[in-house]
Amino acid sequence: MADVQLKEIAKSFGTVEVIKGIDLEIGHGEFVVFVGPSGCGKSTLLRMIAGLEDISRGELRIDGRLCNDIAPRDRGIAMVFQSYALYPHMSVYDNVGFSLKLARVPREERDAKVRDAARILQMEHLLDRRPAQLSGGQRQRVAIGRAIVRHPKVFLFDEPLSNLDAALRVDMRMEIARLHQELGATMVYVTHDQVEAMTLADKIVVLDHGEVQQVGAPLELYHRPANLFVAGFIGSPKMNLLPVNVTGSRGRSIQIGSVDVMATPFDIGAAAAGAPKELVLGIRPHSLRVVAAGAAKIPAEVKLVEHLGNETVIKAQLASGAAVLAIVAGDAGLKPGEKVGLTFDRAEAHLFDAAGRRLLRSSETAGGRR
Amino acid sequence: MRKFLCLVAVVVLVFVYLFPYTWMVLSAFRYPADTFAIPPKLFFEISFDGFRNVFRQSVFGLYLMNSLIITLFSVAITMLVATPAAYALVRISRGGTAFLLTVLIARMIPAIALVVPIYIIGNLTRQLDTYQIMIVVTVAFNLPFAIWMVRGFFLDLPANLVDAARIDGASEWQVLTQVAAPLARGGIFATSVFVFVGAWNEFLFALILTSGRTTTATVALLSFRTSQGIEWDTISAGAFMVSLPVIVFAFIMQRYLVEGLTMGAVK
Ligand SMILES: Nc1ncnc2c1ncn2[C@@H]1O[C@H](COP(=O)(O)OP(=O)(O)OP(=O)(O)O)[C@@H](O)[C@H]1O
Ligand SMILES: [Mg+2]
């Protein structure tokens, strides 16, 4: 177990800066997930922690020790790759035991450790096979076994499950969660997959263009996204985003409205006085409710209805032509072409300024966190 | 139908490639009169005169041994240098390209341009007609090609394997010896076949730099062209024996060549 500290970490390939000064604290035994769009630098950041990429600028500390110039093998880390990266010319047993052999661990001790790792991952029966004789899920198990046999202080995972099919992915996800509990080790995990991030993480780090957009617990990111990027990235399907105008302000509250959205007051505390003229209103599909036409803040026409059994996905068009998604429980009994009204709870809606930052509600600024 | 056409094409190709060789082998086993008979004789009396002459007229056994010593040492040294060099060039990105281009340019200088300077150097250092000078020259001429070829096989290895080995605690040398080289084994053997053939067939430098003691078999063949004319059965018998080691070596390596080609598919 160890903590990991990143201070002003940056990375350039030639003249292109792909990681732009990242500050991050990863606590003892914490499960931290990096998410972000493709090419945002997740793998690069992970590889810098591993020591596979040089650090151009900044400080990396593992367990308090400055690690910038320390070789990967001396950092107390282990890494699992998306492509498994098993040695094809060695048996599973030798794959798992390779690091111990290099470290000149005596044969009996090595054997005990390899078998122990195999037992934890329930792959004792695979030890004599070659990687080519294993299924994708079994290969990933071996790759994880190769990591745990070293008893690393920090586990690094780079999209370990993305080569597996959906059902296996769920199994392995739970397996990794179990391992985290069992071993209590610090884990850093890169993924594209929202569900993996939300279910595994103690803390999610959202990256974009080599910069941290927000760090927080999964539900914190979901309920209080710091900016438009995080709002759009976390949560599936994506949050509906509608441009609105500020039509007036009174005291701590502003009034917003547009062709689509009828005038609605919002309490944004002291910021109300200097609020910009144009904002973006963000409402998650699950926060929209469908009511009778005319009685709601947002008039809409149903375009598409998808019945998923437990819930119904409704695609609707607003007055301006903008499309929104609403998801309601059960069977809504709606048909395409029907005129309806959409309504929402103001506590579940967000306002973003022109720079994309979310405006805090007065409950958040005055009383701090809920 | 297409299959049939393919077969015909293959047969024609094989015939075109193998005809001269077959003709040479046949010439080694018959009297020159039969070789030049018109129309060509399908059946002929088998003669071992050619082989007898080869050993009677020269110390051909020694020359074959010289060829073998020079070739085996050259192949071993070339591969022992080329493999780590190729690996380093794959792993080190900075300056690698410049080095590779330099190596290639060095390779483009025609051998004939270097024969005289090397002869003079050999003469000054009293190294003429020794194994050393032949081995050094052969290694020098084959190394650029070997580095380029092995590098290609290392480039084909998944980069994550090297990463995984480094994390597992392997030094660069251990990554090479325990992961990269075993996985590129087929490619390394394939390269060594090419180097073997190149070294074994070497003629120009052997002709100039050796005289008697370390003369190679390829050069020795020349001595069967006498003032009385060419002894076709003798020269063919010699050429046949010179060609054998190459075939044997390629045969031994064939297993690994196939293995090298299929390894990538498994990954
Ligand atoms: N060796 C390299 N040389 C130059 N540029 C690189 C190199 N490796 C990565 N990059 C660039 O750095 C950026 C970040 O790459 P990285 O692999 O970290 O992205 P990622 O977030 O892991 O993406 P993905 O989700 O697709 O795996 C990309 O724009 C990529 O093109
Ligand atoms: Mg990646």
**CB nearest to B182's CB, from A47, A51, A89:** A89
**CB nearest to A77's CB, from B158, B167, B179:** B167
- Judged by CB atoms closer than 8 Å, whether chains meet at A98 and B182 is answered as no
Distance to chain B for A179, nearest Cα, Å:
20
Task: Give the domain-ending residue among A232, A257, A283.
Answer: A232
Written as one letter, the residue type at A106 is: P
- Judged by CB atoms closer than 8 Å, whether chains meet at B183 and A83 is answered as no
Q: What are phi and psi of B229, to 5 degrees?
A: 120, 180
Give the angle A209-A211-A217 at the CA atoms, nearest 5°.
Answer: 120
CA atoms within 13 A on the CB side of B185: 15
- Judged by CB atoms closer than 8 Å, whether chains meet at B168 and A102 is answered as yes
Give the angle A136-B90-A148 at the CA atoms, nearest 5°.
Answer: 35
- Quick one: A294 and A182 in the same domain? no
- Choose one of A13, A17, A56, A189 to mutate for the ligand 1 pocket test, by most ligand atoms within 8 angstroms of C-beta: A13
- Judged by CB atoms closer than 8 Å, whether chains meet at A150 and B168 is answered as yes
Written as one letter, the residue type at A204 is: I
Tokens of A185: 């080790």
Mean pLDDT by groups of 10 residues along chain B of 267 residues:
89 88 87 80 82 86 94 97 93 76 82 91 93 94 91 89 94 94 90 92 90 90 82 89 88 76 47
Distance to chain B for A130, nearest Cα, Å:
11
Q: Phi-psi bin for A309: left (phi > 0), alpha (psi -120 to 50), beta? A: left
pLDDT value, residue B261: 56
- Quick one: A211 and A265 in the same domain? no
Ligand 1 site, CB within 6 A: A 13, 18, 36, 38-44, 192
Tell me the pLDDT tens digit for each residue of A123-167. Answer: 999 999 999 999 988 999 999 999 999 999 999 999 999 888 888
Domain ranges of chain B: 1-47, 51-261
A78 touches chain B (CB under 8 A): yes
pLDDT above 60 (res A84): yes
Report ipTM for this prediction: 0.84
CA distance A68 to A348: 43
A337 touches chain B (CB under 8 A): no
Q: What are phi and psi of A224, to 5 degrees?
A: -135, 65
Q: What is the mean pLDDT of residues A225-235?
A: 93
- Choose one of A11, A17, A20, A43 to mutate for the ligand 1 pocket test, by most ligand atoms within 8 angstroms of C-beta: A43
- Judged by CB atoms closer than 8 Å, whether chains meet at B165 and A73 is answered as no
- Judged by CB atoms closer than 8 Å, whether chains meet at A89 and B167 is answered as no
CA distance A224 to A230: 9
Domain that holds residue A251: 237-367
Q: In chain B, where does DSSP find H-type helix?
A: 2-28, 32-35, 49-57, 60-91, 96-108, 111-124, 131-156, 159-167, 172-174, 181-183, 185-201, 204-209, 217-220, 232-266
Q: Phi-psi bin for B162: left (phi > 0), alpha (psi -120 to 50), beta? A: alpha
- Quick one: A251 and A318 in the same domain? yes
Residue A20's domain is classified under what CATH number? 3.40.50.300
Task: Give the domain-ending residue among A203, A232, A261.
Answer: A232
Among all bound ligands, the one having the nearest atom to the CA of A45 is 1
- Judged by CB atoms closer than 8 Å, whether chains meet at A85 and B174 is answered as no
A205 touches chain B (CB under 8 A): no
CATH number, domain B51-261, options 3.30.300.30, 1.10.3720.10, 3.40.50.720, 3.30.1360.70:
1.10.3720.10
Residue A355's domain is classified under what CATH number? 2.40.50.140
- Judged by CB atoms closer than 8 Å, whether chains meet at A83 and B182 is answered as no
pLDDT above 90 (res A271): no
- Quick one: A217 and A77 in the same domain? yes
Question: Is-contact B142 B200, C-beta < 8 A?
Answer: no
Distance to chain A for B175, nearest Cα, Å:
11
Chain A partners within 8 Å of B267 (Cβ): 88
Quote the ligand 2 centre to B163 CA distance (angstroms): 14
Distance to chain A for B95, nearest Cα, Å:
14
- Quick one: A24 and A131 in the same domain? yes
Q: Phi-psi bin for A158: left (phi > 0), alpha (psi -120 to 50), beta? A: beta
**CB nearest to A72's CB, from B161, B166, B179:** B166
Would you call the peptide bond into B117 cis, given omega within 30 degrees of 0 as the criterion?
Answer: no
CA distance A324 to A342: 10
**CB nearest to B266's CB, from A50, A81, A132:** A132
- 3-class SS of residue A216: strand
**Residue A40 CA: which ligand 1 atom is closest?**
21
Q: Whose CA is nearest to atom 31 of ligand 1?
A: A39
**Residue A11 CA: which ligand 1 atom is closest?**
12
- Quick one: A200 and A61 in the same domain? yes
Question: Is-contact A84 A143, C-beta < 8 A?
Answer: yes
pLDDT value, residue A369: 43
CA distance A355 to A358: 9
**Residue A53 CA: which ligand 1 atom is closest?**
1
- Quick one: A256 and A320 in the same domain? yes
Burial of residue A194, with CB atoms counted within 10 A of its CB: 0-12 exposed, 13-18 middle, 19 or more buried: middle
Residue B109's alpha-carbon distances to A3, B97, B102, B197, in angstroms, are 58, 19, 11, 20
- Quick one: A251 and A194 in the same domain? no
pLDDT above 60 (res A370): no
Q: What is the mean pLDDT of residues A58-80?
A: 93
For residues A187 and A367, the model is more confident at A187
Neighbours of A31 (CB within 10 A): 22
Chain A partners within 8 Å of B158 (Cβ): 83, 85
Chain A partners within 8 Å of B178 (Cβ): 98
For residues B101 and A201, the model is more confident at A201
- Quick one: A34 and A48 in the same domain? yes
- Quick one: A228 and A245 in the same domain? no
- Quick one: A266 and A227 in the same domain? no
The count of domains in chain A is 2
pLDDT value, residue B266: 41
Nearest CA in chain B to A104: B169
Quote the ligand 1 centre to B267 CA distance (angstroms): 23
Task: Give the domain-ending residue among A200, A232, A264.
Answer: A232
Three-state secondary structure along B200-264?
HHCCHHHHHHCCCCCCCHHHHHHHHEECCEECHHHHHHHHHHHHHHHHHHHHHHHHHHHHHHHHH
| Stated pTM of the model | 0.84
- Quick one: A227 and A346 in the same domain? no
- Judged by CB atoms closer than 8 Å, whether chains meet at B169 and A132 is answered as no
Tell me the pLDDT tens digit for each residue of A86-135. Answer: 999 999 999 999 999 999 999 999 999 999 999 988 899 999 999 999 99
Distance to chain A for B194, nearest Cα, Å:
25
Nearest CA in chain A to B169: A73
For residues A61 and B110, the model is more confident at A61
pLDDT value, residue A268: 84
Distance to chain A for B89, nearest Cα, Å:
17
pLDDT value, residue A333: 82
